[in-house]
Amino acid sequence: MANTQRLFGNGILHGGDFNPDQWRHDPRILEEDIRLMQKCGCNTFSTAIFAWSALEPEEDRYDFEWLDTATERLHAADRRVILATPSGARPLWMAERYPEVRRAYRDGRRWVMGERHNHCWTSPVYREKVRQINTLLARRYAHHPAVVAWHVSNEYNGECYCDLCLTAFRVWLKQRYATLDELNRVWWSAFWNQTYSDWNQIDPRAYGLDGMLLDWYRFTSGQVVDFFQWEAEPLRQANPELPITTNLMGFHFGVDYHALAEFVDVVSNDSYPGYDADNPELARAAATQSMQFDMMRCLKGRPMPWFLMESCIDGRSLWLNSHLKAPGLHELEMLQAIAHGSNGTLYFQWRQNRGGVEKYHGAVVHHAHPEETRSFHEVTALSARYAKIAEVTGSLNQSKVALVLDWESRWAYHAALGMPNYKHDWALTNEAAAHYLPFWSRGIGVDVLSSDVDFSAYSLVIAPKLFMLKPGLSARLHRYVEAGGTLVFTHLGGLVNETGLCFTDGAPGDGLEELCGVFVDETDELKGANESVGVRALARNPLGIEGEWRTTRAYSLGLLKGATPLAEYTETWAKGRPALAERRTGKGVTYFFLADFDSAGYERIYASIARSSRLVGACGTSDPLPPGVTAQLRQRGTTKYLVLLNFGTTPVDVPLLGEWQDVESQSHVAKAAPLAALSARVLMSQTSFVA
Ligand code: GAL
């Protein structure tokens, strides 16, 4: 069993990607790095991520001396190491000698020699080589006192279409479906005459069967999860207590992070939100980021501490067209992660490279005058803050609201033509974020989860556009609502089963029509910002919603099948048709949204739902906090840590219930907490007044 105490037991992690392999020719740099690390208070370094050629310059000839030296020096300076396995970029000698390790494009061509994230997931040669180097690293460093965790590979991503992968896909399908008859059935292969009579006829590059594409996504993601396990095995064998992580990429489409997270000991995420203080939509961007962090905390199916493996100190991430961060914005961005259960924030990168395409990427240590830069000063200041608030690492967020974001459902939606914005996976995550925003702005904590978990502990479950219903989910949702739960379900949800076949008993189907009391028959995609349909709350509706708002990207026309309408469309020939409905079942209720609504709509609806579900925010109120502000609560027993974040550009007073203490200044805070523009504060309380 991995022991995360080693990683999280020494305060908040603060540091970055550290590449001593790039500076082997100049030992003075290591000494300078150590001095600067101590000076700015950075304590933890993810080391040697792309260093395979430095570790194994020629096949079976190894050089660990430079890594020994760096690890020893870090240890002597009381810095900690998160040691990487190098599979994220394979050595050129290997690519040259064993072409099968090179990933293949759709047309079968092999990748060029260079770059990174470029290996085949299936190649036995690559797996063997990875096993060898990981075993050697494990033997050498798994018990090193400086090493507090493994950083496996880097941002796993991508797919490979080589013959080995295509064969493995066919084997995987055979295991899954056993017979071609079954495969033909679940893929509906009579469509366009694509019936398979031999497993070898299956080619995932063919177009037309969305069931096949869905399975290809599943297979590729599964290969990544399998590859991770392969990598992790020698590490775990050498020291089962040393935690293993791999750095994730937020909502990344290609890998089911719920499946991967099952096998990692600690979740870590890379985050480059590109915040811009002048962007009037900054708060919305921040809420989307918060939703991602809430997902990271819950990837293992329940809240667990996690950490930020990569972030950018000054905004110059190079891959994004982003602005420099205004003063204060960086601290705010980092404390946002802490607010959502992160126990650390690391940077890409510690020291700027002298060459390579990322040589101008933001870094703690710049090419020249490293101690005089704004980056270095801000990092130093943040280390000092982290030292004062270190006690938060023992606490974690607890939420009454669950928001469902499911990878397989996203894949199924993406694979099916004819869905609004189906090509853009972000359309689904953005819509989920629109549902999330009213909770964020009230400081009501949300757990972001897959559809596989037990929802019984949540007061409210929101499942926006949950296109696919996995077996058993409908029954679980029925039980949840009957027992008193509140469910939000929406149009474009509950349409297909786990193989992408449409339900024929309703839409939503698989028995959900009964729970929702609505049948959705037609959906229209609205193009551009000017197209939308007006919506009005019905007079004296049971939820008590008032006012008018508009739809956004898509709206649907439905028939009520037992639900009570709460709001209706007011324009076009949709006028008078239901836009929002509720149905009571047992002790609970289901709210059905027939459209994507604008923020005014979600705000009104969720204000009413929050009130009727008695959801109270971290500041003790269910009213919205000042614009741009959120508050997130971490708890340890009866001790509460309230992290206040202001993404607005004006100072505010955040209303508070109860007595609090500022963890850094020790000052007493009650009734309201002053919060400067673009800033964060951490308060603590022992009293039990917050629900
Ligand atoms: C990450 C990657 C890092 C670095 C960084 C630049 O995606 O893991 O190695 O390239 O982006 O922003």
Using most ligand atoms within 8 A of CB, pick from 310, 314, 319, 358 the residue to mutate for ligand 1: 310
414 Cβ inside 6 Å of ligand 1: no
Write down which residue in 362, 393, 424 finishes a domain: 393
Asked whether residue 409 is domain-assigned, the answer is yes
361 Cβ inside 6 Å of ligand 1: yes
Tokens of 577: 């048709």
231 Cβ inside 6 Å of ligand 1: no
* CA–CA separation, 361 and 270 (whole Å): 15
pTM (2 decimals)? 0.98
543 CB burial (10 A radius; 0-12, 13-18, 19+): buried
Asked whether residue 530 is domain-assigned, the answer is yes
Question: Is-cis flag, bond preceding 349, omega within 30?
Answer: yes
Tokens of 382: 């943040």
In sign, the C-alpha dihedral spanning 4, 6, 9, 15 is: negative
Number of C-beta neighbours around residue 556 at 10 A? 24
The pLDDT value recorded for residue 422 is 74
Whether 676 and 551 share a structural domain: no
Q: Which residues of the chain have pLDDT under 50?
A: 690-691
Q: Do residues 100 and 120 touch, judged by C-beta distance below 8 A?
A: yes
**CA nearest ligand 1 atom 4, residue:** 348
CA dist list (Å): 585 to 144, 544, 594: 58, 19, 19
Whether 314 and 452 share a structural domain: no
Asked whether residue 677 is domain-assigned, the answer is yes
Whether 635 and 607 share a structural domain: no
Number of C-beta neighbours around residue 32 at 10 A? 15
4 Cβ inside 6 Å of ligand 1: no
**CA nearest ligand 1 atom 5, residue:** 348
* CA–CA separation, 52 and 245 (whole Å): 19
* CA–CA separation, 173 and 196 (whole Å): 12
H helix intervals, 354-424: 374-388, 407-415
Whether 387 and 407 share a structural domain: no
Over residues 419-428, the pLDDT tens digits come to 888 778 888 9
317 Cβ inside 6 Å of ligand 1: yes
CATH of the domain at 601: 3.40.50.880
Question: Is-cis flag, bond preceding 508, omega within 30?
Answer: yes
The pLDDT value recorded for residue 691 is 44
Cα 434 to chain center, whole Å?
A: 16
Whether 121 and 244 share a structural domain: yes
151 Cβ inside 6 Å of ligand 1: no
Using most ligand atoms within 8 A of CB, pick from 22, 153, 248, 319 the residue to mutate for ligand 1: 319
Q: Residue 534: beta bridge partners?
A: 550
Asked whether residue 191 is domain-assigned, the answer is no
Nearest alpha-carbon partner for 204 in 190, 185, 223, 218: 218
Mode of pairing for the β-strands spanning 247-248 and 267-270: parallel
* 418 Rama class: left (phi>0) / alpha (psi -120 to 50) / beta: left
Whether 416 and 552 share a structural domain: yes
Asked whether residue 211 is domain-assigned, the answer is no
Tokens of 395: 């606490």
* CA–CA separation, 372 and 56 (whole Å): 37
Asked whether residue 543 is domain-assigned, the answer is yes
CA dist list (Å): 200 to 96, 163, 291, 529: 29, 11, 42, 47
The pLDDT value recorded for residue 689 is 56
Whether 318 and 417 share a structural domain: no
Beta-carbon contacts of 127 under 8 Å, excluding residues fewer than 6 positions away, are 227, 230
Ligand 1, atom nearest to 249 Cα: 7
CATH of the domain at 381: 3.20.20.80
154 Cβ inside 6 Å of ligand 1: yes
Ligand 1, atom nearest to 319 Cα: 12
The pLDDT value recorded for residue 529 is 74
Tokens of 450: 């897959």
- Residue 82, φ and ψ in degrees, nearest 5: -110, 105
- Tell me how far the alpha carbon of residue 348 lies from the centroid of ligand 1, in angstroms: 7
Number of C-beta neighbours around residue 505 at 10 A? 12
Beta-carbon contacts of 574 under 8 Å, excluding residues fewer than 6 positions away, are 533, 555, 557
Whether 115 and 239 share a structural domain: yes
Nearest alpha-carbon partner for 545 in 562, 569, 565: 565
Nearest alpha-carbon partner for 519 in 558, 554, 489: 558
Nearest alpha-carbon partner for 464 in 497, 522, 508: 508
Q: Do residues 552 and 524 touch, judged by C-beta distance below 8 A?
A: no
- Residue 22, φ and ψ in degrees, nearest 5: -80, -10
- Tell me how far the alpha carbon of residue 365 lies from the centroid of ligand 1, in angstroms: 16
Tokens of 490: 């929406």
Domains in the chain, number = 3
* CA–CA separation, 598 and 551 (whole Å): 6
| 405 DSSP 8-state letter | -
Mode of pairing for the β-strands spanning 679-685 and 652-662: antiparallel
Q: Do residues 591 and 582 touch, judged by C-beta distance below 8 A?
A: yes
Tokens of 567: 């709001």
Asked whether residue 185 is domain-assigned, the answer is no
Domain that holds residue 333: 5-158+224-393
The pLDDT value recorded for residue 419 is 83
- Residue 69, φ and ψ in degrees, nearest 5: -60, -45
CATH of the domain at 671: 2.60.40.1180
Mode of pairing for the β-strands spanning 588-593 and 486-490: parallel
* CA–CA separation, 363 and 313 (whole Å): 6
In sign, the C-alpha dihedral spanning 487, 490, 493, 495 is: positive
- Residue 466, φ and ψ in degrees, nearest 5: -80, 85
Number of C-beta neighbours around residue 438 at 10 A? 20
Whether 300 and 374 share a structural domain: yes
Nearest alpha-carbon partner for 485 in 641, 628, 615: 615
Q: Residue 655: beta bridge partners?
A: 672
**CA nearest ligand 1 atom 3, residue:** 348
Q: Which residues are catalytic?
A: 155, 310
Q: Do residues 285 and 326 touch, judged by C-beta distance below 8 A?
A: no
The pLDDT value recorded for residue 688 is 66
Write down which residue in 337, 361, 393 finishes a domain: 393
Write down which residue in 393, 428, 443 finishes a domain: 393
Whether 638 and 601 share a structural domain: no
Give one DSSP letter per residue of 29-80, joined into a string: HHHHHHHHHHHHT--EEEE-TT-HHHH-SBTTB---HHHHHHHHHHHHTT-E
Cα 245 to chain center, whole Å?
A: 14
Asked whether residue 184 is domain-assigned, the answer is no
* CA–CA separation, 413 and 416 (whole Å): 5
Q: Do residues 44 and 15 touch, judged by C-beta distance below 8 A?
A: yes
Cα 243 to chain center, whole Å?
A: 20
Whether 334 and 246 share a structural domain: yes
Mode of pairing for the β-strands spanning 639-646 and 679-685: antiparallel
Q: Do residues 487 and 477 touch, judged by C-beta distance below 8 A?
A: yes
* CA–CA separation, 508 and 224 (whole Å): 32
CA dist list (Å): 255 to 243, 250, 466, 574: 21, 11, 18, 39
Whether 47 and 140 share a structural domain: yes
